[in-house]
């Protein structure tokens, strides 16, 4: 009897526990079904697990260059945080002084978790710090992320240091360079798109001397250029003459571009343009802003650089000259030459992950998870194009930017420059264009890929180049401008090349040559 009473009490207690557990389950999860019975009487009862709570937002601080005048508002950041479950702090610094800030932050151990560099040259200068174990190697982790693992292997290889991957890349078309010119001026003078460097020279002459705007005044010039031997006119013209891209292979050696005769031909060509007055005389001291203003004001008729600049050039030009027309063109060669155009190694910038700011592997993986989400169409479009209906609309399956270009630039541009990957890998919408010159430019950019002149040293390393390349390049940059200004003759330029070799350039040649031969 006593035993029976005890059993009844035990059963009653178990029922109370079971009812209590069911009630808790109902209050927490909305599920009123009882917990599964224990597999045997001796096993202790376990409550059913409550659904996992939403994960706390990952806090990430990001440093990057700003290519507009003012820091953007939080319009895009707020939406980005919602889509990626993050709490983001963006540290924007003006692009013009970004390298100084970057170097100072690195020297004081103040780099944030996510650090964008400025360009490929900055990346080269950071390679020693990367070798010194200052940044996380991320290559072993990319396979864990569905979207990051889609990044192009060929471009990733171009960013490796000693065969290891430390960075994610901001993808760009291989070769966007070409010619933008005043089509209405060409039509007024009966000129067609130039096919050779001689045709281009003749157009610069006519645009300067033959009153192309038909206003009866001597107020025009052919080419507008700036103080940039890479993204200004010089390097693209150099391609038209057949110069290698940064370095070339000759007689089994890797040699710098300025040791090839085509480089001299390019200098001679630009010197002739300047001497004749067919371009702005002070181009070596002209900023990009001033160069652009020469074209947009209606003073200059030729702009050599990224053909994708045509939209902004045209939109501002017609504010000053409502009847103006523009066109783009790419296939220009020296007489008897073959068309080629210099190419970037598939990226224009990279992002690194400092060990001083990221304490362990778990934190690194959370940050990489954010970048994995960045490579989804929804997030990539938000960061590149903005908010649909506000900053862009979808037309024929492409993104058409809002007519309010000031709003788009102010709110979106700051984030646009940080999107990793490219449309083929992140699903980002291609742009819709109704300006014929831009439609042509996009076609020409695709054509350029087949004629791209690649830098053979892009995947290679030279310790001397990393340590001294920028300093040594100044010798050549100064000599190049002096030659084109008539302050240095060919013998003087060749002496500058010898100085470059003596101060470390020969070691660069030897190291790149050894690395090139070892990679075959």
Residue of 179 and 461 predicted with greater confidence: 179
Label residue 53 by pLDDT band (50, 70, 90).
Answer: low
pLDDT tens per residue across span 255-269 = 999 999 999 999 999
Q: What is the pLDDT of residue 328?
A: 98
Which alpha helices (H) appear in 47-166, and where do they start and end? 75-84, 98-107, 120-125, 127-131, 153-158
Q: What is the pLDDT of residue 55?
A: 85
Which residues belong to CATH 3.40.190.10 in the chain? 50-174+346-428, 177-342+454-459
Which CATH number, 3.40.50.980, 3.30.360.10, 3.40.190.10, 3.90.650.10, labels domain 50-174+346-428?
Answer: 3.40.190.10
Q: Can you point out the beta strands (E) in 212-364?
A: 221-224, 247-250, 253-256, 300-306, 326-329, 341-342, 347-352
SS3 of 246, please? coil
Query: What is the Cα–Cα distance from 115 to 113, expressed in whole angstroms?
Result: 6
State the average pLDDT for the chain. 90
Give the closest residue to 371 by CA, choosing from 99, 148, 87, 111: 148
Q: Specify whether the CB–CB gap between 136 and 168 falls below 8 A.
A: no
Which CATH number, 3.40.190.10, 3.90.79.10, 3.40.50.720, 2.60.210.10, labels domain 177-342+454-459?
Answer: 3.40.190.10
Dihedrals phi, psi of 116, to nearest 5 degrees = -80, 140
Label residue 70 by pLDDT band (50, 70, 90).
Answer: very high
Average pLDDT value for residue range 334-354: 96
DSSP structure string for 39-56:
SSTTSPP-PPPPPPPPPP
pLDDT tens per residue across span 385-405 = 999 999 999 999 999 999 898
Average pLDDT value for residue range 88-116: 96
Contacts by 466-471, CB closer than 8 A, 24 or more apart:
466/124, 466/125, 466/127, 466/128, 467/128, 468/503, 468/504, 468/508, 469/124, 469/508, 470/121, 470/124, 470/125
């Amino acid at each position: 009897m006593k035993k029976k009473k005890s059993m009844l009490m035990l059963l009653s207690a178990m029922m109370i526990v079971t009812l209590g557990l069911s009630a808790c389950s109902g209050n927490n999860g909305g599920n009123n079904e009882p917990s599964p019975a224990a597999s045997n009487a001796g096993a202790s009862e376990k409550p059913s697990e409550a659904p996992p709570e939403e994960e706390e937002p990952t806090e990430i601080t990001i440093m990057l260059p700003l290519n507009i005048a003012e820091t953007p508002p939080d319009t895009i950041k707020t939406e980005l945080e919602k889509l990626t479950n993050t709490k983001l702090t963006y540290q924007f610094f003006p692009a013009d002084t970004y390298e100084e800030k970057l170097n100072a932050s690195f020297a004081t151990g103040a780099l944030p978790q996510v650090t964008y560099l400025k360009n490929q040259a900055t990346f080269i200068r950071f390679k020693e710090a990367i070798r010194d174990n200052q940044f996380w190697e991320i290559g072993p982790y990319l396979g864990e992320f569905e979207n990051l693992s889609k990044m192009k292997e060929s471009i990733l290889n171009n960013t490796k240091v000693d065969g290891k991957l430390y960075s994610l890349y901001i993808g760009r078309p291989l070769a966007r360079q070409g010619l933008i010119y005043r089509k209405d001026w060409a039509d007024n003078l009966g000129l067609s798109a130039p096919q050779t460097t001689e045709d281009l020279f003749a157009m610069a002459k006519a645009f300067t001397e033959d009153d192309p705007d038909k206003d009866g005044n001597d107020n025009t010039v052919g080419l507008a250029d700036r103080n940039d031997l890479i993204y200004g006119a010089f390097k693209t013209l150099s391609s038209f003459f057949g110069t290698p891209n940064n370095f070339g292979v000759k007689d089994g050696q890797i040699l710098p571009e300025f040791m090839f005769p085509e480089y001299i031909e390019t200098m001679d060509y630009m010197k002739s343009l300047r001497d004749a007055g067919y371009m702005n005389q002070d181009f070596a001291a002209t900023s990009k802003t001033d160069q652009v203003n020469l074209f947009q004001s209606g003073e200059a008729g030729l702009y050599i650089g990224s053909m994708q600049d045509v939209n902004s050039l045209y939109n501002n030009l017609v504010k000053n000259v409502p009847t103006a027309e523009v066109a783009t063109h790419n296939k220009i060669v020296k007489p008897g030459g073959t068309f080629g155009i210099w190419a970037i190694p598939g990226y224009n910038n990279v992002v690194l992950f400092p060990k001083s700011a990221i304490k362990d592997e778990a934190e690194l993986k959370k940050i990489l998870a954010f970048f994995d989400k960045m490579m989804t169409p929804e997030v990539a479009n938000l960061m590149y194009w903005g908010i649909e209906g506000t900053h862009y609309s979808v037309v024929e399956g492409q993104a058409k930017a809002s007519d309010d270009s000031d709003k788009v630039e102010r709110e979106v541009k700051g984030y646009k420059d940080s999107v990793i990957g490219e449309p083929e890998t992140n699903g980002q919408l291609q742009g819709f264009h109704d300006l014929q010159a831009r439609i042509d430019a996009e076609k020409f950019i695709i054509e350029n890929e087949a004629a791209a002149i690649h830098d053979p040293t892009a995947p290679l390393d030279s310790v001397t180049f990393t340590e001294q390349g920028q300093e040594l390049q100044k010798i050549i940059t100064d000599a190049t401008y002096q030659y084109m200004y008539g302050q240095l003759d060919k013998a003087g330029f060749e002496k500058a090349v010898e100085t470059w070799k003596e101060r470390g350039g020969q070691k660069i040649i030897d190291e790149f040559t050894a690395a090139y031969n070892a990679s075959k």
